[in-house]
Amino acid sequence: MATLTAEQRLAAILLRLADATTGAVEGFTQEELAEMSGTIRQTVARILAGWQRQRLVEVRRRSVRIVLREKLAALAAGRRA
C-alpha cells in the first residue's frame, strides 16, 4: 500500500469499510481515516472535499457515503474517474 497515492489509499479504505447496501462509512473521524491511510487529517479533508465537489461522496460529521462506487473503485485502482 506504500506505493499508492494518498487518494488511492483513502479510496480503498472507504470501499473496504463501506456498508454494502448504503455505501455509508460511519463512526470514523477524519483523523482516524488519516491514520488508517497513512496520511494526515488535512490531506483526508482535502481529498474528501474534492470528491464531494465531484459528487463521488457525501461528507457529514463522522460519516462518508459513497455515491459513485465504480468511480471511487477506479480511483483506488489508479485509474482516473
Report pLDDT for 21.
92
Amino acid at 17: L
> What are the backbone dihedrals phi and psi of residue 38, each rounded to the nearest 5 degrees, phi first?
70, 35
- Residue owning grid cell 460519516: 63
Cβ-contact 55, 11 below 8 angstroms: no
Q: What phi-psi label fits residue 62: left (phi over 0), alpha (psi between -120 and 50 degrees) or beta?
A: left
Domains of the chain (ranges; CATH) run 6-76 (1.10.10.10)
Three-state DSSP string of 34-63 = HHHHCCCHHHHHHHHHHHHHCCCEEEECCE
* pTM as predicted: 0.92
Digit-coded pLDDT (tens) for 20-50: 999 999 999 999 999 999 999 999 999 999 9
